[in-house]
Amino acid sequence: MTIQLKEELKALDQKHFLHPTTSIEQQQAQGPAAIFTEGKGIYLKDMEGNTYIDGMSSLWNVNVGHGREEIAEVAKEQMATLAFSSCFATFSNEPAIRLASKIASLAPGNLNTVFFTSGGSESNDTAIKLARHYWLLKGQPERQKIISRTLSYHGVAMGATNATGLQAFRDFTNSHAPDFHYVYNQSVRHLREMIEALGPETVAAFISEPVQGAGGVNIPQKDYFKEVRKICDEYGILFIADEVITGFGRTGKLFGMEHYGVVPDMMSFAKGVSSGYAQLGGVVISEKIHQDYCELSKGTLMHGYTYSGHALACQVGLKNIEILEREKLVENAAHMGEAMLEGFKALQEKYSFIGRVRTIGLLGAIELVKSRETGELFQSYLSPIFVQETMKRGLILRTVTYDQDTVVFSPPLILSKAELDEMLRILDETFEYVRKTIVEKEG
């Protein structure tokens, strides 16, 4: 790699590439933090030859790890045979049919019919629209309102943005669609009060991630969703689970809601269904909803993406799920998740500025605090500096700084004990460095 090439790419990036969820200021000042060229297993390599542990599975999605030849092979074959054909107007293709059936066989309870999208945002927009359409068909057109939770993240399409509880995403365009409402994270009482205040007959659906990802890996109390399910049933409200991060093994169960023994009416998924090898997502709906659609719907389902049921993406999804099952990656996530928690606890004992730690499967968080007793945070957030330092040491992580100072973890589900130990060693080294250079000086 020549310095010249790097400089050239940096300049082109700054001028021509508007990055997703990126500080424009930072991009213009520094250029790309890394230009990745290769991935293998849990590792990523950049154009300068640096190697990193991909501690976030990139964007919580590369669950089977990078560089899977067998996925590349089926993708090549499918692309050469039939990359794409329409699924509108009853047209179909075998990979889409097979993947829909496969997902129906894996999804909890009677979630049995799949609508395909290209990612999580489209999936949540779809779920919201399918819920509203459902009530139109059922003769209750006033059921339009969507309730979600503070600190939730559901994506950036218009419906998904408005369902997102993290306000910064809504403030970005200062457009706040009507009919979206937010309840406090763990409060079933607030949910009930909200429904009563809005009028139950005006509420279409409640949407929630089983475990919030972007909001800080917030793991609900054991009985939270059971209570939510009861309330939804009581008021006849549809319950949508956003399994975009938690689906396909991330939490040590195939789907996150399985931890809570609750079956939603609809479940959105993306990320882990294809481990990022192709753009793919979808919504699984219950048999009950599907039957009602079949009975009541007379016209066309006026919702569909060009790439709904994309043959190549679905074929990739099938191979990805085959790997997940063959290599028992869900079990590995459960098992390694426990080891990761042990590792976090050991670090917590060593460093007084680590607050709460938590994991559920291979989804984890470490909170940084100035004082454990009061929960006081450092004046300027510590986690962004922390993850810059882990990156220098070969570990890519991410932070959450909405009313908290948290480092989050989502390593590939293939993680081995030796790789976890390497990750923990880098964390230890970085905590030590941050303690000496920042914490002791501030404290």
Judged by CB under 6 A, the chain residues 270 through 299 that form the site for ligand PMP are 270
Q: What residues contact 247, with CB distance under 8 A and at least 6 apart? A: 254, 255, 256, 267, 269, 270, 271, 272, 273
Considering only 39, 65, 108, 155, the residue that binds ligand PMP (CB under 6 A) is 155
What count of other Cβ atoms lies within 10 Å of the Cβ of residue 56?
Answer: 19
In angstroms, what is the minimal distance from the CB of 176 to ligand PMP? Answer: 19
Q: Hey, what's the torsion of the CAs at 53, 59, 65, 70, to 10 degrees? A: -150
Give the count of residues interacting with ligand PMP (CB under 6 A): 15
**Does residue 170 touch ligand PMP according to CB under 6 A?**
no
Helix segments in 248-395, DSSP class H: 287-296, 311-326, 329-350, 383-392
Mark residues 186-215: x for contact with ligand PMP by CB under 6 A, - for none.
Answer: -----------------------x---xx-
In angstroms, what is the minimal distance from the CB of 75 to ligand PMP? Answer: 19
- C-beta closer to ligand PMP: residue 159 or 337: 159
C-alpha distances in angstroms, 228 versus 7, 160, 165, 215, 419?
Answer: 53, 20, 17, 19, 38
C-alpha distances in angstroms, 363 versus 8, 402, 409?
Answer: 37, 18, 6
- C-beta closer to ligand PMP: residue 205 or 426: 205
Place of tokens 């790789």: 419
**Does residue 408 touch ligand PMP according to CB under 6 A?**
no
Judged by CB under 6 A, the chain residues 16 through 75 that form the site for ligand PMP are 59
User: Tokens in use for 26?
Assistant: 């930072």
SS3 state of residue 112: strand
**Does residue 248 touch ligand PMP according to CB under 6 A?**
no
**Does residue 225 touch ligand PMP according to CB under 6 A?**
no
Phi first, then psi: what are they for 399, rounded to 5°?
A: -120, 160
Considering only 244, 273, 311, 313, the residue that binds ligand PMP (CB under 6 A) is 244
Place of tokens 């068909």: 137
Mark residues 107-146: x for contact with ligand PMP by CB under 6 A, - for none.
Answer: ------------xxx--x----------------------
Phi first, then psi: what are they for 442, rounded to 5°?
A: -70, -45
CA distance 272 to 283: 14
**Does residue 183 touch ligand PMP according to CB under 6 A?**
no
The answer to whether the beta carbons of residues 219 and 360 sit under 8 Å apart is yes
| Part in contact with ligand PMP (CB under 6 A); list of ranges 77-85, 127-135, 152-160, 306-314 | 152-160
In angstroms, what is the minimal distance from the CB of 243 to ligand PMP? Answer: 8
**Does residue 162 touch ligand PMP according to CB under 6 A?**
no
> Which 8-state DSSP code applies to residue 221?
P
In angstroms, what is the minimal distance from the CB of 185 to ligand PMP? Answer: 14
In angstroms, what is the minimal distance from the CB of 277 to ligand PMP? Answer: 14
Q: Using CB under 6 A, list all residues that contact ligand PMP.
A: 59, 119-121, 124, 153-155, 209, 213-214, 242, 244-245, 270
